[in-house]
Amino acid sequence: MNPWLSFPCRSPCLKAASRAAARNEQLTKPQGALGQLEALVIRLASLQGRPEPAIESPWISLFAGDHGVAAEGVSAYPQSVTGEMLRNFTHGGAAISVLAKRLDAPLEVIDLGTLGDLELPGVRHLRLGPGTASFLEAPAMTEAQLAAALDAGYESVERALTAGADLFLAGEMGIGNTTAATAMACSLLQKPAPELTGAGTGLQPAGIARKSAIITRALERHRLDPAVPLEILRHLGGFEIAALCGAYLHCAQRGLPVLVDGFICSVAALCAVRFNPSAHDWLIFAHHSAEPGHRAVLAALGAKPLLDLGLRLGEGSGAALAVPLLQQACALHKGMATFAEAAVSGQDS
Ligand SMILES: Cc1cc2ncn([C@H]3O[C@H](COP(=O)(O)O)[C@@H](O)[C@H]3O)c2cc1C
Ligand SMILES: O=C(O)c1cccnc1
């Protein structure tokens, strides 16, 4: 197993949190009037270790990989879309490309293993394989592939830190990956496939039933132990999901706060937290995806996402959309006057 996986996670700074909470009490607004934003800023203060947190350098890593199980017709789109989107990401045409540009955030695109073998400028091609094996026939990944994918996540976090990132966002691209993520969620949560399976890119009800039956077959074939999350990841996951899991664990080890995107990223986060529960402190959940399995995954994580917009895209798009909210929350906390500074009367008794 990758040696760094056993490194401990950092502890959030309680002193910064209590100083941020004290400042929050002084600001010229009724107590609690900024709702969830207040707790969010206090939490960010504890993660950044400073009483006045700020998001100045968000970083986005986008992990792509193909899935053997896509051959079973579990997606509304052909498998070739994964590789085709790589070019779109670097040419600026994908949703996450537009959002990254608006945020002025670096967007690195990592191809962990897709069907095509084109060298695309601006893409890091790691080529762990032409995609995972179909989990109906074999474990999705070999041990070496899992290790390399986890390392890819680790390396992304190191690059983000070198670039001075103060918030880590990740996205995923991989046709068929809602099937992989749903299978993982079923296994981690010990829930039956029909309860968690959804439309992904837009399957019709008959397609969803078929997808759910395929997941049930995989669960029966592999019979995985929920107490061994990395084996669940290796058998049922994907290269990009493993990279996400590795990145989230390493962010927690290095003390870099994370904004988690939708369903697929949340399953990677659940896997990371099952592997090391202390990773949980570093994960902020951006949004509630329309994919039905997301609810159970968020509930298992005790997570209350910031947004609920009916998004079902992935790519890190929901996380990117939440960045301005975090930035505004920080700006309010830093910029608002205190009652004393503004000579405004405080609360009666
Ligand atoms: C053009 C296009 C762009 C996307 N960007 C993200 N996804 C999303 O859809 C895929 C998962 O859904 P499923 O499991 O149904 O295949 C992933 O690639 C995910 O990131 C996309 C899907 C498509 C078609
Ligand atoms: O919420 C997600 O991550 C998601 C949902 C559908 C398709 N792709 C991604």
Q: Using a 6 Å cutoff on CB, does residue 111 contact ligand 2?
A: no
Q: Using a 6 Å cutoff on CB, does residue 211 contact ligand 2?
A: no
| Residue 289, CA distances (Å) to 61, 262, 341, 348 in order | 19, 5, 42, 42
113 in Cβ contact with 80 (< 8 Å): no
Residue 300, Cα to own-chain centre: how many angstroms?
A: 15
Q: Which atom of ligand 2 is nearest to the CA of 181?
A: 3
Q: Computed over its alpha carbons, how large is the radius of gyration of the chain?
A: 20
Active site residue 315: yes
Q: What whole-number distance in Å separates Cα of residue 313 and Cα of residue 84?
A: 16
Which residue is associated with the tokens 């986890």? Answer: 150
212's CB contacts (< 8 A; 6+ apart) are: 193, 194, 197
Quick one: pLDDT at residue 33?
98
Q: Which of 301, 237, 291 lies closest to 262, judged by CA?
A: 291
Q: How many angstroms does the Cα of residue 265 sit away from the middle of ligand 2?
A: 9
Q: Which atom of ligand 1 is nearest to the CA of 95?
A: 5
pLDDT below 70 — which residues of the chain?
A: none
Mutate to test the pocket of ligand 2, among 175, 203, 313, 315 (most ligand atoms within 8 A of CB): 313
Quick one: pLDDT at residue 280?
98
**Tokens matching residue 95:** 């949703």
Which of 38, 72, 240, 315 is flagged as catalytic? 315
Q: How many angstroms does the Cα of residue 332 sit away from the middle of ligand 1?
A: 36
Angle CA 65–67–71, to nearest 5: 145
Q: Which of 146, 169, 147 lies closest to 157, judged by CA?
A: 169
Ligand closest in space to the Cα of 174: 1
Quick one: pLDDT at residue 200?
98
Q: What residue owns the CA closest to ligand 1's atom 20?
A: 173
Quick one: pLDDT at residue 117?
83
Q: What whole-number distance in Å separates Cα of residue 148 and Cα of residue 128?
A: 7
Strands (DSSP E) along the chain, which ranges? 58-65, 107-113, 123-125, 167-173, 258-260, 283-285
The single-letter code of the amino acid at 265 is C
End-to-end CA distance of the chain: 59
Binding pocket residue ranges, ligand 1, CB within 6 Å: 75-77, 81, 85, 172-179, 200-201, 313-315
Collapsed DSSP state (helix, strand, coil) of residue 268: helix
Q: What whole-number distance in Å separates Cα of residue 298 and Cα of residue 264?
A: 11
Q: Using a 6 Å cutoff on CB, does residue 178 contact ligand 2?
A: yes
Q: How is 307-335 classified by DSSP, letter by letter?
A: B-------TTHHHHHHHHHHHHHHHHHHH
Burial of 175 (C-beta count, 10 Å sphere; 0-12/13-18/19+): buried
Q: What residue owns the CA closest to ligand 1's atom 21?
A: 313
Q: Which atom of ligand 1 is nearest to the CA of 179?
A: 14
Q: What residue owns the CA closest to ligand 1's atom 1?
A: 81
Q: Are strands 58-65 and 123-125 parallel, antiparallel or unpaired?
A: unpaired
Q: What whole-number distance in Å separates Cα of residue 41 and Cα of residue 22?
A: 12
Side-by-side strand order, sheet with 258-260: 123-125, 107-113, 58-65, 167-173, 258-260, 283-285
Ligand closest in space to the Cα of 82: 1
Which residue is associated with the tokens 């402190």? Answer: 281
Quick one: pLDDT at residue 349?
76
| Residue 204 zone, left/alpha/beta (φ > 0; ψ -120 to 50; rest) | beta
Quick one: pLDDT at residue 116?
86
Quick one: pLDDT at residue 118?
85
**Tokens matching residue 10:** 């950092």
Q: Which atom of ligand 1 is nearest to the CA of 199?
A: 15
- Kindly provide the b/e burial profile for residues 241-267, where b requires at least 16 CB atoms within 10 angstroms of the residue's own CB: bbbbbbbbbbbbbbbbbbbbbbbbbbb
Which residue is associated with the tokens 């918030």? Answer: 167
Quick one: pLDDT at residue 306?
98
